[in-house]
Structure 1
Amino acid sequence: MSGLLSRVTKFARSPEGRRAMREARRAADDPKNRAEAKRLIGRLRGGKSGKGGKK
Structure 2
Amino acid sequence: MASLMSKLTDFLRSPQGRKLTEQVKRAAQDPKNQQRVREAVRKLRKR
The answer to whether the superposition gives a TM-score over 0.5 is: yes
Question: If each structure's helix is expressed as a fraction of its own residues, which one has the higher value?
Answer: 2
Instruction: Provide structure 2 residue ranges, at least 5 long, that are not aligned to the other structure.
Output: none
Measured against aligned partners, the alpha-carbon deviations of 1:16-42 in whole angstroms (never above 9, x if no partner) come to 000000000111111000110111122
In the alignment, residue 9 of structure 1 is paired with which amino acid? T
Instruction: Provide structure 1 residue ranges, at least 5 long, that are not aligned to the other structure.
Output: 48-53
TM-score, normalised by the number of residues in structure 1: 0.72
Of structures 1 and 2, the one with the larger relative CO (CA 8 A, separation 6+) is 2
Rg: which structure is higher? 1
1:1-20, aligned counterparts within 5 Å? 3-20=3-20
What percentage of residue pairs aligned between the two structures are identical?
Answer: 37
Match of 2:41 in 1: 41
C-alpha RMSD over aligned residues:
1.6
Structure 1 CA distance for aligned equivalents of residues 18 and 30 of structure 2: 19
